[in-house]
Amino acid sequence: MEPSAEPRRVTLAQVAELAGVSVMTASYTYNRPDRVSDRARAKVLAAADRLGYAGPDPSARSLRRGSTRTLGVVLGEHLSYAFEDPAAASFLAGIADVCADRGYGMTILPATGPPTTAAVDGFIVWTTSDDDPILQAVRATKRPAVVHGGPAVPGMGLVGIDDRAAAHAVGAAAFAGARRPAVVSFPLSRDRTSMITTGADITGVAFPVTRARLAGYRQAAEDAGIAWHDVTVAVCARNDAAEAERITATLLAAAAPPDAIAAMSDQQAAGVVRAAGRTIAVTGWDDSPTAAELGLTTVAQSLRDQGAACAHAVLGRRTDTRPAPWTVVHRESTRPGRST
């Protein structure tokens, strides 16, 4: 038995012919209905219903317009990070808000794929390293692009907070009265090596957000009379509470354990609290629900608003060159009188 032939696709020209109108009038019925009379629109829709015409092919429309009406979001992390990390999820929600309002779709792209093949109108790049080849690859597409957090790339927009100033402020809360402060840090390089060091060489850090935060913590430590080379920096490979808990346990088992820890995220801070309890001062970053639950002093910023700002910038709105707003929320984790 031979397979039956696929039914031929009904065309807009056939609809127009049956309706007794021009192809342009039939096209306007779907794409610019305000330019078609009620009578003509009714004739076109009746003809379309009779022929089983579902409407113009979206892919063909995209080709004609030279637009896919889709934004690409490039994540340097594994794709599941977008759904597992609260900060990334909030950021993506802000992009989605704008896409929904403007009639755009959103595609999450792995950093391993060539952006030149992505069927998107523009790119939003989640914070990455200075040497990430994806940045120049995106720039080479000549499509609108914005980086969140950093690095700054000529010809591409940049949205984010002043991480150094925020780290200085929250570090001051963490290190007040401390003698042996420590930092639980994001990775320092793209190889994402986990390690424990002292007085980390900030100039060699590949990720600008991590570099700026370490610089702010260093300033806070020095303001408290503590030399940076005496500050322990525990580097985690991922933004993960379990890893932060393990590395904090190692710090606490040392001969001179830290009495204050500034973590670069609320996720990491949660791991620190699990390992240390309420015996030391702890700060986080992002003011997530976890921070409120644990009573963490933390940096509050709206990643949802920043995601929306990135989307608006890619879609043509002028980028605000000022850093996004932030504040330090003070809670029990850095207040005097913690249990010891």
* Interatomic CA distance for residues 77 and 88, integer angstroms: 10
Q: How confident is the model over 90-124, as pLDDT tens digits?
A: 999 999 999 999 999 999 987 766 676 688 999 99
Q: How confident is residue 36, by pLDDT bands cut at 50, 70 and 90?
A: confident
Q: Residue 165: which residues within 8 A CB-CB, separation 6 or more? A: 216
- Please state, as a whole number, how many other Cβ atoms lie within 10 Å of the Cβ of residue 205: 23
* Interatomic CA distance for residues 149 and 303, integer angstroms: 10
C-beta separation of 147 from 156 below 8 A: yes
Q: Write the single-letter amino acid at 193.
A: T
Task: Read off the pTM.
Answer: 0.81
Q: What angle do CA 15, 21, 27 make, to 5 degrees?
A: 60
* Interatomic CA distance for residues 276 and 273, integer angstroms: 5
Cis peptide before 258 (omega within 30 of 0): no
All structural domains of the chain: 12-56 (1.10.260), 70-159 (3.40.50.2300), 163-301+325-334 (3.40.50.2300)
Residue 115 is given by DSSP the state: G
C-beta separation of 195 from 149 below 8 A: no
Averaged pLDDT for residues 309-326: 91
SS (HEC) of 80-96: CHHHHCHHHHHHHHHHH
Instruction: Lowest mean pLDDT of 2-6, 236-240, 271-275, 309-313, name the range.
Output: 2-6
* Interatomic CA distance for residues 176 and 223, integer angstroms: 9
pLDDT of residue 340: 42
* Interatomic CA distance for residues 288 and 196, integer angstroms: 26
| 64, pLDDT greater than 70 | no
